[in-house]
Amino acid sequence: MPRAPHPADLGPTASTGRARLACLLSLGTCLGVACAPDLPPGQRVAGPRILALRTEVIAPLFPAEEPADAGVRCEALPFEKVRVTPFMVEPTGVLDIAGAEFDPIWLACQLGPGQGLFACLRDALPLELDELPECPVPSFTDIDPNAMELPEYPSPCRFPDDGSDDGRLEFTAPFAPNLLLGGDIELTMISRAPGSPATRACAEAMLSKAADLPNECIYAVTRVSVGPIEQLLAFAGMFGFELPPELGEVPDPKDIPDGDRNPRIASFRVTVLDPAADEETEYGEVERGGKITVKRGQTIEIDTDTPAVDLQTFPVPINNGVGGMGSELQTERLDGSWYRTWGTLLASGSDDREAFNQWTMRKGEADADELPPDGRALLYYVLRDSRLGVDWWWLEVEVEP
């Protein structure tokens, strides 16, 4: 029974500033955008923001079977170790998530099939932070075929501090009953931001359903897929669990699709146009987080490329599975979002694996000065596929008068 994609759940929802809980409850409309009432334009970074959460399988069960020419899986199999990395940015650059100004608490909740983001944790509120059970570390030894059912995974639960200060979450994917039905893991991240209260105060306000959340707290929600579901059914059959008839039979190994993988920004090429001198300068490939120097009024052209192989084909139930009409194959689509701290952009989004944009070093409508603060401007690019894959890039520019 293939899992259908969730178009509204393609990435994290972030809420910062004097946010209201009502914003957090409408996560499908707040993807990656701070939810304060006095927001700058959506593509302008005027304060700390979380633009994406990236999930990566870092300890696959069958490493020899992982293709070398494909992106890292963001869809995990049970008992695989997963890493979740926030992409936090500020007007001055990418936030150091290993620093003291970012101190996240991570919560997990078991989403049912078809549930939207935050539905699981929202239904459990209000909660006391200290009363949340600790999320366990699942293991093959937890499986007891004589029990005839999978072990329950506490929901919601809180991940313990892993002892590191890298700002990322690492956990082991469970094998839970809701996953066999097409559910997912809902992850909620709560953190302080520069100048905000302690993370604990941010968490207690959100979990208590406070009407006003603390100023500048950061809240992000995403889903982690465990599957593909055909492989989960195969696992259940291997362990001797009797599957409900509505789940169908254990699939043949050749009918098990590849798990969802992150797309890759394989190329990021930069050319600078000088309209005053009618000249152009090709910088060629610029590394992630690279720096260049331009003059005010010049335009930066960016060409990016994602390998065609990264657009995976996957089965989707026809008519959402109603009527037993089988499945059809769909190919992933791409959705690129561009953000800047200063200047003007030709476009805020792109939907092609060979994307193009222009960034002009000229004061935008929301900019205060003719030059960016400290003479530095940044461009952030977040690429998503139409499932749960994500990648990002950024470019720093020194703007001369």
- Tracing tokens 């193009």 back to the chain, one arrives at 356
Amino acid of residue 389 = G
The reported pLDDT for the residue numbered 345 is: 95
Per-residue pLDDT tens over the stretch 320-347? 655 566 678 899 999 999 999 999 999 9
E-assigned strand segments in 46-104? 49-59, 81-90, 93-94
Q: From 116, 155, 117, select the one nearest 136 (Cα to Cα).
A: 155
At residue 227's C-alpha, the angle toward residues 221 and 230, to 5°, is: 145
Give the span between the Cα atoms of 64 and 162, in whole angstroms.
28
Tell whether omega for the bond before 307 is within 30 degrees of 0, i.e. cis.
no
Q: From 155, 167, 161, select the one nearest 99 (Cα to Cα).
A: 167
Structure tokens of 314?
């996957």
Give the span between the Cα atoms of 154 and 5, in whole angstroms.
25
Give the span between the Cα atoms of 131 and 152, in whole angstroms.
18
- Give the pLDDT of the chain (401 residues) as one tens digit per residue: 434 333 333 333 344 433 333 333 333 323 333 333 333 467 999 988 899 999 999 999 999 999 989 999 999 999 999 999 999 999 999 998 998 888 999 999 999 988 899 999 999 999 999 999 999 999 988 887 777 678 889 999 999 987 778 999 999 999 988 898 889 999 999 998 888 889 999 999 999 988 788 877 899 999 999 999 889 888 887 777 776 666 777 778 888 889 999 999 999 999 999 988 889 999 999 999 999 999 999 999 999 999 999 999 988 877 665 556 667 889 999 999 999 999 999 999 999 999 999 999 999 988 999 999 999 999 999 999 999 999 999 999 999 99
Give the span between the Cα atoms of 206 and 20, in whole angstroms.
10
Domains in the chain: boundaries: 7-255, 267-400
Per-residue pLDDT tens over the stretch 307-325? 999 999 988 877 665 556 6
- Tracing tokens 């459990």 back to the chain, one arrives at 124
A 10 A CB-CB count for 250 gives 14
**DSSP characters for 212-281?**
BPPTT-EEEEEEE-B--HHHHHHHHHHTTPPPPGGG-PPPPGGGPPPPPB-----EEEEEEEETTTTEEE
Question: Under CATH, to which class is 267-400 assigned?
Answer: mainly beta
